[in-house]
Protein backbone atom coordinates (compact mmCIF):
# COMPACT_ATOMS: atom_id res chain seq x y z
CA UNK A 1 0.00 0.00 0.00
CA UNK A 2 1.55 3.30 -1.13
CA UNK A 3 -1.27 5.67 -0.27
CA UNK A 4 -4.44 5.58 1.78
CA UNK A 5 -6.98 7.26 -0.49
CA UNK A 6 -10.03 5.09 0.09
CA UNK A 7 -11.09 2.46 2.58
CA UNK A 8 -11.49 0.27 -0.50
CA UNK A 9 -7.68 0.31 -0.89
CA UNK A 10 -7.46 -1.92 2.19
CA UNK A 11 -7.72 -5.68 1.95
CA UNK A 12 -8.96 -7.52 5.01
CA UNK A 13 -5.36 -8.33 5.95
CA UNK A 14 -4.24 -4.72 5.43
CA UNK A 15 -7.05 -3.43 7.61
CA UNK A 16 -6.39 -5.93 10.38
CA UNK A 17 -2.69 -5.06 10.27
CA UNK A 18 -3.55 -1.38 10.80
CA UNK A 19 -5.84 -2.24 13.72
CA UNK A 20 -3.31 -4.61 15.33
CA UNK A 21 -0.51 -2.08 14.89
CA UNK A 22 -2.71 0.62 16.40
CA UNK A 23 -3.34 -1.67 19.36
CA UNK A 24 0.40 -1.94 19.99
CA UNK A 25 0.97 1.77 19.51
CA UNK A 26 -1.89 2.60 21.88
CA UNK A 27 0.25 1.26 24.70
CA UNK A 28 2.74 4.06 24.04
CA UNK A 29 0.09 6.54 25.08
CA UNK A 30 0.09 5.00 28.55
CA UNK A 31 3.81 5.57 29.04
CA UNK A 32 5.18 8.69 30.71
CA UNK A 33 7.20 9.49 27.57
CA UNK A 34 4.80 9.03 24.67
CA UNK A 35 7.34 9.22 21.86
CA UNK A 36 8.84 6.60 19.52
CA UNK A 37 11.83 7.25 17.23
CA UNK A 38 10.29 5.38 14.29
CA UNK A 39 9.83 8.23 11.82
CA UNK A 40 12.81 10.34 12.85
CA UNK A 41 14.07 12.32 9.85
CA UNK A 42 10.87 11.83 7.90
CA UNK A 43 8.72 14.81 6.98
CA UNK A 44 4.96 14.70 7.23
CA UNK A 45 2.94 17.59 5.84
CA UNK A 46 -0.57 18.17 7.08
CA UNK A 47 -2.28 19.92 4.21
CA UNK A 48 -5.62 21.19 5.44
CA UNK A 49 -7.85 23.05 3.02
CA UNK A 50 -10.80 22.78 5.39
CA UNK A 51 -11.08 23.63 9.05
CA UNK A 52 -10.91 20.51 11.14
CA UNK A 53 -9.40 20.93 14.53
CA UNK A 54 -10.09 17.36 15.56
CA UNK A 55 -8.55 15.56 12.59
CA UNK A 56 -5.67 17.98 12.14
CA UNK A 57 -4.60 17.76 15.79
CA UNK A 58 -5.00 14.00 15.74
CA UNK A 59 -2.66 13.60 12.76
CA UNK A 60 -0.25 16.13 14.22
CA UNK A 61 -0.01 14.31 17.54
CA UNK A 62 0.28 10.96 15.74
CA UNK A 63 3.16 12.09 13.56
CA UNK A 64 4.94 13.79 16.46
CA UNK A 65 4.68 10.71 18.67
CA UNK A 66 6.50 8.88 15.90
CA UNK A 67 9.20 11.62 15.88
CA UNK A 68 8.43 12.80 12.35
CA UNK A 69 9.04 16.41 11.40
CA UNK A 70 5.54 17.80 11.06
CA UNK A 71 4.57 20.79 8.99
CA UNK A 72 1.00 21.92 9.18
CA UNK A 73 -0.26 23.91 6.27
CA UNK A 74 -3.67 25.50 6.58
CA UNK A 75 -5.25 26.93 3.51
CA UNK A 76 -6.10 30.13 5.29
CA UNK A 77 -3.32 32.70 5.29
CA UNK A 78 -1.23 30.67 2.86
CA UNK A 79 -0.53 31.04 -0.84
CA UNK A 80 -3.78 29.18 -1.45
CA UNK A 81 -5.74 32.29 -0.54
CA UNK A 82 -3.72 34.05 -3.25
CA UNK A 83 -5.16 31.60 -5.76
CA UNK A 84 -2.37 29.03 -5.99
CA UNK A 85 -3.59 25.81 -7.56
CA UNK A 86 -3.56 22.45 -5.83
CA UNK A 87 -1.01 21.30 -8.38
CA UNK A 88 1.40 24.14 -7.65
CA UNK A 89 1.07 23.51 -3.94
CA UNK A 90 1.80 19.84 -4.64
CA UNK A 91 4.92 20.71 -6.63
CA UNK A 92 6.11 22.91 -3.76
CA UNK A 93 5.66 20.10 -1.26
CA UNK A 94 7.39 17.71 -3.64
CA UNK A 95 10.34 20.08 -4.00
CA UNK A 96 10.60 20.29 -0.21
CA UNK A 97 10.78 16.53 0.02
CA UNK A 98 7.61 15.63 1.89
CA UNK A 99 7.63 11.90 2.68
CA UNK A 100 3.98 11.89 3.55
CA UNK A 101 1.14 14.30 2.90
CA UNK A 102 -2.02 14.16 4.96
CA UNK A 103 -4.69 16.02 3.06
CA UNK A 104 -8.11 17.37 3.96
CA UNK A 105 -9.93 19.02 1.08
CA UNK A 106 -13.46 20.10 0.26
CA UNK A 107 -13.27 18.52 -3.22
CA UNK A 108 -13.94 14.81 -3.58
CA UNK A 109 -10.92 13.13 -5.17
CA UNK A 110 -8.38 15.86 -4.32
CA UNK A 111 -6.10 13.25 -2.64
CA UNK A 112 -6.23 11.11 -5.81
CA UNK A 113 -5.04 14.10 -7.82
CA UNK A 114 -2.21 14.77 -5.34
CA UNK A 115 -1.11 11.15 -5.58
CA UNK A 116 -0.47 11.75 -9.26
CA UNK A 117 1.73 14.78 -8.61
CA UNK A 118 3.65 13.85 -5.46
CA UNK A 119 6.00 10.92 -4.96
CA UNK A 120 5.39 10.76 -1.19
CA UNK A 121 2.60 8.81 0.45
CA UNK A 122 -0.81 10.49 0.47
CA UNK A 123 -3.22 9.97 3.34
CA UNK A 124 -6.77 11.06 2.74
CA UNK A 125 -7.93 12.91 5.85
CA UNK A 126 -11.36 13.60 4.38
CA UNK A 127 -12.17 14.67 0.83
CA UNK A 128 -15.45 16.42 0.11
CA UNK A 129 -18.35 14.02 0.27
CA UNK A 130 -16.17 11.08 -0.74
CA UNK A 131 -14.21 9.34 2.01
CA UNK A 132 -12.46 9.61 5.33
CA UNK A 133 -10.64 6.28 5.65
CA UNK A 134 -8.77 6.92 8.91
CA UNK A 135 -12.08 7.78 10.56
CA UNK A 136 -13.42 4.39 9.48
CA UNK A 137 -10.29 2.70 10.80
CA UNK A 138 -10.60 4.39 14.18
CA UNK A 139 -14.28 3.53 14.29
CA UNK A 140 -13.53 -0.13 13.56
CA UNK A 141 -10.77 -0.04 16.16
CA UNK A 142 -13.20 1.38 18.71
CA UNK A 143 -15.84 -1.25 17.93
CA UNK A 144 -13.34 -4.07 18.22
CA UNK A 145 -12.04 -2.76 21.54
CA UNK A 146 -15.52 -2.36 23.00
CA UNK A 147 -17.21 -5.42 21.58
CA UNK A 148 -14.28 -7.75 20.94
CA UNK A 149 -15.02 -8.51 17.30
CA UNK A 150 -16.00 -7.06 13.93
CA UNK A 151 -17.06 -10.16 12.04
CA UNK A 152 -20.84 -10.40 12.08
CA UNK A 153 -21.25 -7.19 14.05
CA UNK A 154 -24.52 -5.39 13.21
CA UNK A 155 -23.77 -1.73 12.57
CA UNK A 156 -26.35 0.97 11.85
CA UNK A 157 -25.05 4.21 10.32
CA UNK A 158 -27.69 6.90 10.69
CA UNK A 159 -28.03 10.33 9.15
CA UNK A 160 -26.87 12.30 6.14
CA UNK A 161 -25.44 9.37 4.19
CA UNK A 162 -25.59 11.32 0.92
CA UNK A 163 -23.05 13.93 1.99
CA UNK A 164 -21.06 11.81 4.44
CA UNK A 165 -17.48 10.77 3.77
CA UNK A 166 -17.52 8.98 7.12
CA UNK A 167 -20.41 6.79 5.98
CA UNK A 168 -18.75 5.89 2.67
CA UNK A 169 -15.48 4.83 4.30
CA UNK A 170 -17.22 2.96 7.09
CA UNK A 171 -19.47 1.00 4.75
CA UNK A 172 -16.50 -0.10 2.65
CA UNK A 173 -14.18 -0.93 5.53
CA UNK A 174 -16.78 -2.68 7.67
CA UNK A 175 -17.88 -4.79 4.71
CA UNK A 176 -14.24 -5.79 4.18
CA UNK A 177 -14.02 -6.74 7.85
CA UNK A 178 -17.19 -8.85 7.76
CA UNK A 179 -19.60 -6.61 9.64
CA UNK A 180 -23.25 -6.34 8.65
CA UNK A 181 -23.99 -2.68 7.93
CA UNK A 182 -27.31 -0.90 7.52
CA UNK A 183 -27.45 2.74 6.51
CA UNK A 184 -30.50 4.55 7.88
CA UNK A 185 -31.72 7.89 6.56
CA UNK A 186 -34.68 9.64 5.03
CA UNK A 187 -34.74 8.72 1.31
CA UNK A 188 -33.58 12.24 0.40
CA UNK A 189 -30.31 11.71 2.25
CA UNK A 190 -29.43 8.39 0.63
CA UNK A 191 -27.56 8.69 -2.69
CA UNK A 192 -29.15 7.43 -5.89
CA UNK A 193 -27.15 4.27 -6.53
CA UNK A 194 -26.77 3.32 -2.86
CA UNK A 195 -28.12 -0.12 -3.74
CA UNK A 196 -24.69 -0.93 -5.17
CA UNK A 197 -23.06 -0.44 -1.76
CA UNK A 198 -22.14 -3.49 0.31
CA UNK A 199 -24.79 -2.74 2.94
CA UNK A 200 -28.53 -2.71 3.57
CA UNK A 201 -30.62 0.44 3.67
CA UNK A 202 -33.56 1.44 5.82
CA UNK A 203 -35.76 4.50 6.32
CA UNK A 204 -36.95 3.28 9.72
CA UNK A 205 -34.59 3.85 12.63
CA UNK A 206 -36.92 2.27 15.19
CA UNK A 207 -36.99 -0.99 13.24
CA UNK A 208 -33.19 -1.12 12.99
CA UNK A 209 -32.14 -0.19 16.54
CA UNK A 210 -33.18 -3.41 18.34
CA UNK A 211 -31.06 -5.37 15.85
CA UNK A 212 -27.93 -3.21 16.15
CA UNK A 213 -24.76 -3.83 18.11
CA UNK A 214 -23.41 -0.44 17.06
CA UNK A 215 -25.28 2.69 16.14
CA UNK A 216 -23.24 5.42 14.52
CA UNK A 217 -24.93 8.81 14.40
CA UNK A 218 -23.78 11.28 11.73
CA UNK A 219 -23.84 15.03 11.95
CA UNK A 220 -26.72 16.54 10.03
CA UNK A 221 -26.33 20.12 8.95
CA UNK A 222 -29.33 22.29 9.63
CA UNK A 223 -28.68 24.02 6.28
CA UNK A 224 -29.88 20.87 4.50
CA UNK A 225 -33.41 21.97 5.32
CA UNK A 226 -33.08 24.90 2.93
CA UNK A 227 -32.46 22.42 0.10
CA UNK A 228 -35.60 20.48 1.09
CA UNK A 229 -33.82 17.34 2.23
CA UNK A 230 -36.16 17.37 5.23
CA UNK A 231 -38.90 19.72 6.39
CA UNK A 232 -37.52 20.88 9.73
CA UNK A 233 -34.87 20.12 12.32
CA UNK A 234 -37.64 19.08 14.66
CA UNK A 235 -39.08 16.55 12.24
CA UNK A 236 -35.63 15.19 11.46
CA UNK A 237 -34.89 14.81 15.13
CA UNK A 238 -38.21 13.07 15.77
CA UNK A 239 -37.71 10.53 13.02
CA UNK A 240 -33.94 10.03 12.96
CA UNK A 241 -32.52 11.48 16.17
CA UNK A 242 -31.21 9.18 18.90
CA UNK A 243 -32.78 10.09 22.23
CA UNK A 244 -33.06 8.30 25.56
CA UNK A 245 -36.14 6.17 24.80
CA UNK A 246 -34.73 5.08 21.45
CA UNK A 247 -31.41 4.20 23.06
CA UNK A 248 -33.32 1.98 25.45
CA UNK A 249 -34.46 -0.16 22.52
CA UNK A 250 -30.85 -1.12 21.72
CA UNK A 251 -29.51 -4.50 22.81
CA UNK A 252 -27.87 -4.42 26.21
CA UNK A 253 -24.23 -4.19 25.11
CA UNK A 254 -24.76 -1.99 22.11
CA UNK A 255 -22.62 1.13 21.75
CA UNK A 256 -23.35 4.59 20.38
CA UNK A 257 -20.76 6.31 18.19
CA UNK A 258 -20.43 9.73 16.61
CA UNK A 259 -17.53 11.03 14.54
CA UNK A 260 -18.10 14.59 15.81
CA UNK A 261 -18.70 17.40 15.84
CA UNK A 262 -22.14 16.71 17.32
CA UNK A 263 -25.35 18.69 17.04
CA UNK A 264 -26.68 17.92 20.49
CA UNK A 265 -30.45 17.91 20.38
CA UNK A 266 -30.51 17.35 16.63
CA UNK A 267 -29.22 13.90 15.69
CA UNK A 268 -28.21 12.95 19.21
CA UNK A 269 -29.66 13.87 22.60
CA UNK A 270 -27.25 15.07 25.28
CA UNK A 271 -28.21 12.21 27.59
CA UNK A 272 -27.20 9.74 24.84
CA UNK A 273 -23.96 11.49 23.98
CA UNK A 274 -22.92 11.44 27.63
CA UNK A 275 -24.17 7.95 28.45
CA UNK A 276 -21.99 4.92 29.21
CA UNK A 277 -22.85 3.45 25.82
CA UNK A 278 -21.24 6.46 24.11
CA UNK A 279 -17.74 5.97 22.71
CA UNK A 280 -17.37 9.52 21.47
CA UNK A 281 -14.41 10.49 23.65
CA UNK A 282 -12.70 7.12 23.11
CA UNK A 283 -13.00 7.60 19.38
CA UNK A 284 -10.88 10.73 19.66
CA UNK A 285 -8.19 8.96 21.69
CA UNK A 286 -8.25 5.96 19.38
CA UNK A 287 -7.87 8.29 16.42
CA UNK A 288 -4.32 9.08 17.45
CA UNK A 289 -3.32 5.39 17.71
CA UNK A 290 -4.88 4.50 14.39
CA UNK A 291 -3.26 7.44 12.60
CA UNK A 292 0.09 6.52 14.14
CA UNK A 293 -0.39 3.03 12.72
CA UNK A 294 -1.25 4.35 9.26
CA UNK A 295 1.74 6.71 9.16
CA UNK A 296 4.01 3.99 10.51
CA UNK A 297 2.89 1.44 7.93
CA UNK A 298 3.05 3.91 5.01
CA UNK A 299 6.29 5.68 5.93
CA UNK A 300 8.13 3.43 8.34
CA UNK A 301 9.14 0.65 5.98
CA UNK A 302 12.01 2.06 3.95
CA UNK A 303 13.33 4.57 6.48
Q: Which is nearer to other proteins, 65 or 130 (by Cβ)?
A: 130
Q: Which stretch binds other proteins (CB under 8 A): 26-34, 190-198, 252-260, 291-299?
A: 190-198
- Residue from 21, 55, 142, 176 carrying the catalytic annotation: 55
Active site residue 132: yes
Active site residue 55: yes
Active site residue 219: no
The least CB distance from residue 47 to other proteins, in Å, is 12
The least CB distance from residue 220 to other proteins, in Å, is 17
Interface with other proteins includes 108 (CB under 8 A)?
Answer: yes
The least CB distance from residue 89 to other proteins, in Å, is 11
Quick check: bond before 261 cis, omega within 30? yes
The least CB distance from residue 257 to other proteins, in Å, is 21
Interface with other proteins includes 224 (CB under 8 A)?
Answer: no
Interface with other proteins includes 175 (CB under 8 A)?
Answer: no
Using the rule CB under 8 A, which residue among 196, 226, 248, 276 binds other proteins? 196
Contacts to other proteins from residues 230-289, by CB under 8 A: none
Using the rule CB under 8 A, which residue among 127, 139, 180, 267 binds other proteins? 127
- Binding residues for other proteins, how many (CB under 8 A)? 25
Interface with other proteins includes 3 (CB under 8 A)?
Answer: no
- Separation of alpha carbons 57 and 62, rounded Å: 8
- Residue from 3, 42, 104, 163 carrying the catalytic annotation: 104
The least CB distance from residue 222 to other proteins, in Å, is 19
The residues, any chain, with a CB within 8 Å of residue 260's CB and separated by 6 or more, are 54, 219, 280, 283, 284
Interface with other proteins includes 113 (CB under 8 A)?
Answer: yes
Torsion (CA) 213, 124, 163, 211 in degrees, nearest 10: -10
Q: Quick one: three-class SS letters along the chain?
A: CCCECCHHHCCHHHHHHHHHHHHHHHHHHHCCCCCCCCCCCCEEEEEECCCCHHHHHHHHHHHHHCCCEEEEEECCCCHHHHCCCHHHHHHHHHHCCCCEEEEEECCCCHHHHHHHHCCCEEEEEEECCCECHHHHHHHHHHHHHHHCCCCCCEEEEECCCCCCHHHHHHHHHHHHCCCEEEEECCHHHCCCCHHHCCCEEECCHHHHHHHCCEEEECCCCHHHHHHCCCCCHHHHHHHHCECHHHHHCCCCCCEEECCCCCCECCCECHHHHCCCCECHHHHHHHHHHHHHHHHHHHHCCCC
- Binding-site string for other proteins from residue 69 to residue 88, where x marks contact by CB under 8 A and - marks none: ----------------xxx-
Interface with other proteins includes 63 (CB under 8 A)?
Answer: no
Q: Which is nearer to other proteins, 38 or 108 (by Cβ)?
A: 108
Q: Which stretch binds other proteins (CB under 8 A): 12-20, 67-75, 110-118, 246-254?
A: 110-118
Binding site for other proteins (CB under 8 A): 85-87, 105, 107-110, 112-113, 116, 127-131, 165, 168, 191-197
Catalytic residues: 54-55, 82, 104, 132
Amino acid sequence: MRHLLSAADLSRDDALLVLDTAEELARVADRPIKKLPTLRGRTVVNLFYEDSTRTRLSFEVAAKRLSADVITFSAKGSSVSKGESLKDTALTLEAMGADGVVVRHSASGAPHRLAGWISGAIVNAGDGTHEHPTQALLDAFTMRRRLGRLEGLRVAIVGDILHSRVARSNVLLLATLGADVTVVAPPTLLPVGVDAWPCSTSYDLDAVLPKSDVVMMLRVQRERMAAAYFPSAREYSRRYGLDGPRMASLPEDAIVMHPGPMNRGMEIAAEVADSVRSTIVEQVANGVSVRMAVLYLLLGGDA
